[in-house]
Amino acid sequence: MEPRSISFVEFPSCHSLVGIVLVLCFAHVSSTTNETDKLSLLAFKAGITENPLSVLSLWNNSMGFCQWYGRELQLGNNSLNHEIPPQISQLSRLQILWLENNSLVGEIPKNIAACFNLVSLTLAFNQLFGKIPTQVGSLSNLQLFYLHVNNLIGSVPSSLGNLSSLERLVFSLNNLGGSIPPTLGHLSKLQLFMVAQNKLSGPILTEVLNLSSLSDFDVGVNHIQGSLPAYICFTLPNLHVNYLGGTILSSLGNLTKLAALNLSGNNFQDQIPSELSNYFFLNKLDLSRNNLNGTIPPQIMSKSSQIILMDLSHNRLIGALPMEVGNLRFLTALSISKNMLGGEIPNSLGDCVALVSLMMGGNSFHRSIPQSMRSLRGIEELDLSHNNFSREIPQFLETFRSLKVLNLSYNNFKGMLPCEGVFENATSTPIIGNAKLCGGLLEFQLPKCISSNSKSRKVNVLRLSTVVICGLLGIAFVLAILYLSWRKRQVQEPAFSSMVVLCPNISYGMLLKATNGFSSTNMVGVGSFGSVYKGILEDNRTTVAMKVLHLVGRGALKSFVVGCEVLKNIRHRNLLKILTVCSSVDYERNDFKAIVYDFMDNGSLE
C-alpha cells in the first residue's frame, strides 16, 4: 500500500469552521491502531451532543478515516457547547488540539495527559472551570499551552515545571490564586509567560526572570509585589514587563536596555519619571490604567527617542501635551485619553507624520484643531471626543483617505460639517454633543446651514431695525420732554388760559378805567396778596370788586392760581361769585393779574 498525502479539506457545510486540519496519514500505521483511533473519534463525536455547525457530520463511512484527522484536531469557533469528552485520551497520535471559543463547560479532563504526543493545547475563550490538572505536567512534548479567558480556579500546578519543551504559557483572565511556583524557573525554553488578571499573590518570581529565552512577562492586575532585579537588563533586553507594585523607577531598576515596557493596569501613583529618557532602546511604552499624576515630562519625547507606541491613557495627568511630541518621528500610536490634560494641541504634533492612531478623548483640550495636523495623512483613527474644541472642523480632515474612524463627539464645534471622506459615514464619525454644527449628510440629522448671503441680509435687516427703533425711541423721548414741559407750564399757569376763555374781553385798560387808574378813593381794602378796588365796568355799568395781586409778594401767584381753580366752580351763599380774571401786562410791560368778583357792601375778599 503506497503512502499518500492528505491536504486540508474544507467542508462547505461548515461556515465558521476553522476546520479539521489534515496533515499526513501513513498507510504503514497498523490497521489495529487505525481502528482504535477511528473508534476513539466516533466516541468523541458521540460525546458532543450539540454540533450546530455540523463540523462532525462528515465523520462517517462516506469519507476515509484518514481524512477525519491526522495529527491535528482543530475544532475552534464551532459553538460545541459541551464538556470535553473523556474519549479525547484515546487519540494517542494527536499533536495539536485546538478547541478555542466553543463555549465548552466542565473541567479539563485529567486523562488528557494520555495524549502524550501533544505539542499544542489550546482551550482558551471557553467557560471551563475547576483546577488545572496536575497530570498535564507529564506532556513533555508540549510547546504551546493556552488556557486564557476561562473560569479556572486553584493554583498554577508546580508540575508544569516538568514541561521542558514549553515555549508559551498563557493563563490570563481566570481566577487562579496562590503564588507562582518556583519550578517554572526550570522551563529553559519559555519565551512567553502571561498570567495577568488573576488573583495571584506573592513576590515577583525571579526564577522565571532568570530565563534567558524569556521575552514577554505579564503578571499585571494581580497582587504581585516587589521590583525587578537590576541585572536582568543584560540578559533580557527585549523583556515586556507588566506587574503590580512600588513606584516606576524603583520597580525598573537599571533596565535601560528595555525595548518594550508595559506597566498598564497597575496601581502606580507617582509621576512619570523623566529618567525614562535614558532608556534609549525603548520603542514601546505603556503606562495606561494607573493613577499617575503630574505633567508629561518633555524629556521622554527627546529627539533621540525611538518610541513607536506610547500609551499614557486612563491616568490623572495634567497640564499640556509637550511641544516636544514633534520629536517622535517614528511614533505610530499615541494615546493620552481619559486624563486631565488641557490647553491647545501643539502645532508640533503635525511633525509626527508616521501616526496611524491618535487618541486624545476625555481631556480638556480647547480652541481649534491645528492646521499643522494636515500632514498626518496616514492616520487611520483619530479620537478628539469629550474635550472643549470650539472652532470649525477643518476641511482637510475629509481629504484623509486612510482615516477610518473619527470621533468628534461632545465638544463645541460649530459651523458646517464636511461631507466627503470619513464624513460620508455617520457610524464612523460620531459628532453627537456639538449643538452648533450644521449641514453634512442627512444621516447626521443636523440642521441646515444658513448661507453667508442670508446671514448678510439678516445682519442688514437687524441693523436697519436697530436704526428705526432707535429713531422711534429718540422721537418718543423728544415728545415726552415736550409733553412734560407743557404739563409743567399748565401746572404753573392753569388759570390764565381758562379764565381767558371765560371772559376774553376783560383787559388791563378796562380795569384801569373802571377804577379811575386804581385810585386810592376806589380802594376798599388791602389783603395779604393784593389790594381790593371798587369799580364800574364801562360796558354794562356793573359794579364789581377786583383784587389786584402784588406779584412781588411770596405766594401771590400761587394764590391767584388756586383762587381761580377753586372759586370758578364753587357756589355758596357766603362766598362771592367770581366773574372773571385778568392776566395781562400794564403799560410799563409789567405782569398784571387780577380777580373780578360781584361787589358786596361790607364784604371781604380774604
The alpha-helical segments, DSSP class H, found in 431-493 are 452-492
CA angle 134, 136, 141 (to 5 degrees): 145
As a whole number of angstroms, the distance between CA 235 and CA 96 comes to: 32
DSSP 270: S
Check if the beta carbon of residue 192 is closer than 8 Å to that of residue 215: yes
Q: Is 109 helix (H, G, I), strand (E, B) or coil?
A: coil
Binding-site residues, in ranges, read: 547
DSSP 272: P
Kindly provide the b/e burial profile for residues 250-271, where b requires at least 16 CB atoms within 10 angstroms of the residue's own CB.
ebbeebbbbbbbbbbbbebeee
Binding-site residues for ATP, in ranges, read: 547
Q: How many CB atoms lie within 10 A of CB 586?
A: 12
As a whole number of angstroms, the distance between CA 47 and CA 381 comes to: 46
Q: How many CB atoms lie within 10 A of CB 546?
A: 28
CA 384 to chain centre: 8
Q: At what angle do helices 494-502 and 556-567 cross, to 10 degrees?
A: 50
Show contacts of 239-247: CB within 8 Å, 24+ apart.
239/209, 239/214, 239/215, 240/215, 240/216, 240/284, 241/217, 242/196, 242/217, 242/218, 242/266, 242/286, 243/204, 243/217, 243/218, 243/219, 244/219, 244/220, 245/204
Taking alpha carbons only, the member of 176, 82, 193, 183 closest to residue 130 is 176
